[in-house]
Each structure stands twice: as C-alpha cells, then as structure tokens.
Amino acid sequence: MSTTLTHRGLPLGISRLHLLSLVEDLGKRGIGVSSSAARLLEHLIWRSRDGDYDGGRICAVWERVCRTADDLGLSSRAINQAERELEAKGFVIRTTGGNGARSGSRTDGQIRWAAGINLAPLINRYAELKAVWDARCLQQQAIAECKAEIRRLRRLIRAGGEASGLARAEEILPDGRIAPINRMDRLETIRGQLAELLADISIDARATESSDPSEENDRRIIQDRDSSRPCRPRAAEPSITPATALDLASNDYRAIVRSLGGASWPNLIEASHRTALGSGLGQRSWGQACATLGRERAALCVLVVDRNARLRQDHRYRAEHPAKCFSGMVRRAASRSFNLHGLLKACPPDPEAPSADAPPHGVMSDGSSTIASLTTALLSRTLSLMENPA
C-alpha cells in the first residue's frame, strides 16, 4: 500500500474543527461504529494538523499503538480492534513501513510520506456524513414540531373541561408523556387521534350552546374600585448577549463556536461543555454548575475561566488552577456575591491584561482611569480570590 495517499480536501470554508464537530455530533450510531472506534476517530483528528486537510496533501497519524492506548485509557488490543473496525467501515486506511513499524516525515509543516493511519477516506466522505447529519436534524425538527402540536391539542382538550374528553385523551396518550416517544409514525398517529377528539368535543360544545345570549351578558362591566396591588419585582433578565460574550472568549473557544454555527446560547453552552471537559473541570462540576446557575450562566463562567487560564505564565491574574477557579465562581455566583453579567458586560474584548511591571492599567495621561480598565482588574482579582479563597 502506498504511504503517499492524498485526498481531495475538505469543502471550501470547512476546517478540521468542523470535521471533528461533525464526527462528535454523529456519534457512534451516526457513523455506525463502536464507542471505542468513535473515540479513536476523534483522537486521530485531534492528532492531525489543520494544513493536512488541504486538497492534495497527506493526512495521517503514525503514533505508536501503545501511546494511543495510554491517551484513551484503553488497551492496545482494543486500539487495534478499533482501527480494523474503522478501516472496514471505510473511514481510514492502515499502512505500515518495511519492518511493520509506523513512521512518517513532515517537512515545512507538510507530510511527505507516512506509514500509519491515513484519514483520506474520512475526508473524502465529508459530504456524505454531512448529509446524514442534516437528515437527522430535519427529522429531529419534525419530531419537535409534532410534539409541540400534540401539547397544544392536549391543552385545548383540557380547556374544554369535559371529563369524557379528558378520559379519552388519557387513553390515546397514557400518562400524558410524549418525551420518551421519538418515532415519527407513532407521534403522527397520536396527533391525528387527538385532533379528531378535539373536533368531536368542539362539535358537542357548539350543539349545547344557546343561540340567544342573556341580557345580563350584554351589560358592560364597569370597574369602580382600585384593584391595583403591589407586585413582587421580577428578576432582571441577563443583559449579556452571546455575541458580546464571544468577544471576551479565547481564540480556541471562538473557533469551537464558529464550528458549531456561530454565536448563540446553544452553541456557547456546547462550546463551554467541551472546553470544561478539555480543561479538566470535569463532567460532574459542569453538571453541578448547570443545575445551580442554569446552563447559560454556567457557560459564561467556563468562558471566563478559560479566558484567564490562557494568560501569560508570569501574569499575576492567571488562573493557575482552572478547576478551583471554576468552583469558586459557581459558588459566589450562586450566593450572588458578585454580578457576573455586569462584569462581563463592562469588560473590554481583550483577553491579555497588563503585566505586573507595566504602567498602571487604565490610567490616562491626565491621571484618570477608564471604567473598562478598572472592570478588567476587578474581574481578574475576583477570579484570583475564587482560585485561592481565604
């Protein structure tokens, strides 16, 4: 087998991160492999470089099986089996050198030859995998719309207040739960039955209505008393927007959001989830933060921690322990010890703060300080206190 197998390249505007996100979104069921093979495929994409995905180049990884096994926490036998599975499914090609070892040569950032795992088949099948994902998204959208219509029909049936109608609705949809149902044919059947039931209830209601309304109903109701009463003030909604938050994020964080489709709360939540797992924050800490603060605020906390963790090594406000910093931020945000959204809204989109030996940050030539600079220092000090609590 030739060790110089090239590929056609990814479509215009599609990068390595886009391909990685597509593989992660499809999962083992979408690409039809085991969980070990899916993890290995994601690992191989991570180990490659962006330039390897340009058309006419070689995209391959030739690291030893034992090292891959250590990185993924699997045995060498499991890695070999996963490689054979990916090759059988047509996603990779395995090549070896003359002595059966894996090796390669990269010059000026470009692979000249490689004996290992070649990702050319996966790259050439990007359009096919994207079509599978688009079809799944359309199906999920249709399922969501059908479920929403079923909920609307059930609300109208309940509003009718007829015991017989409610009993028949329970027979159609036992326990009133549609979340576990994901088969489109089953949902369409339920929707049709509920629509027929609602039509029958409406016909019965019109038959019992009187055609001559009473005079009492025609009288105008005039309110002669002041019914105003004090209301509990409603909590203010977060004023930060996804685009504003993204301006404060690191370059890697922005790249993940772009690969997901741009600035939106769902994409920021998914990007923070991936960043949290990649930064060692852990699935448990992420889940507790979402349960305590909500997914949007938890995503903003991860964004800020990731931002400060990427400061220079000698920076006095650098987050040396992101996990501790994240836990402290969640704890203080839950107790409302500081205004997360206020700090984010006032903070300028510049992740690099001044060093300790630099002139005082935010001080103009006339001695006045800018609010944005003071906010940056306040945010950095807050994160430092969270990382090293008293």
> What's the confidence (pLDDT) of residue 141?
87
pLDDT value for 366:
38
Query: Would you state the pLDDT for residue 51?
Result: 92
Residues 6+ away with beta carbon under 8 Å from 31 = 23, 38, 41, 89, 91, 129
pLDDT at residue number 203: 63
Residue 127 to residue 182: CA distance in whole angstroms = 26
Spatial CB neighbours of 322, under 8 Å, sequence gap ≥ 6: 279, 280, 281, 305, 306, 309
What pLDDT is recorded for position 181?
Answer: 82
DSSP secondary structure of 160-206: H--HHHHHHHHHHSGGG--TT---HHHHHHHHHHHHHHHHHHHHHHH
Q: pTM of the entire structure?
A: 0.48
Overall CATH class of domain 16-124: mainly alpha
Residues of the chain with CATH 1.10.10: 16-124
Q: Which two tokens stand for residue 7?
A: 């590929």
> 302: buried, middle or exposed (CB in 10 Å: 19+, 13-18, 0-12)?
buried
* All residues at 6 or more sequence positions from 10 whose CB lies less than 8 Å from its CB, including other chains: 16, 18, 19, 53, 123, 126
Helix residue ranges, H only, the chain: 16-31, 35-47, 65-72, 76-88, 120-124, 126-160, 163-172, 184-208, 215-218, 242-247, 251-260, 265-278, 283-293, 295-309, 322-334, 340-346, 371-387
Distance CA 52, CA 55 (A): 8
267: three-class secondary structure by DSSP: helix
Give the model's pLDDT for residue 124.
93
Cα separation, 297 vs 330, whole angstroms? 9
Q: What are the residue ranges in the chain where pLDDT is below 70?
A: 1-3, 98, 161-162, 174-176, 202-239, 315-317, 319, 333-390
Say which residues have a Cβ less than 8 Å from residue 200's Cβ, sequence separation at least 6.
Answer: 165
Strand partners, 93: 118
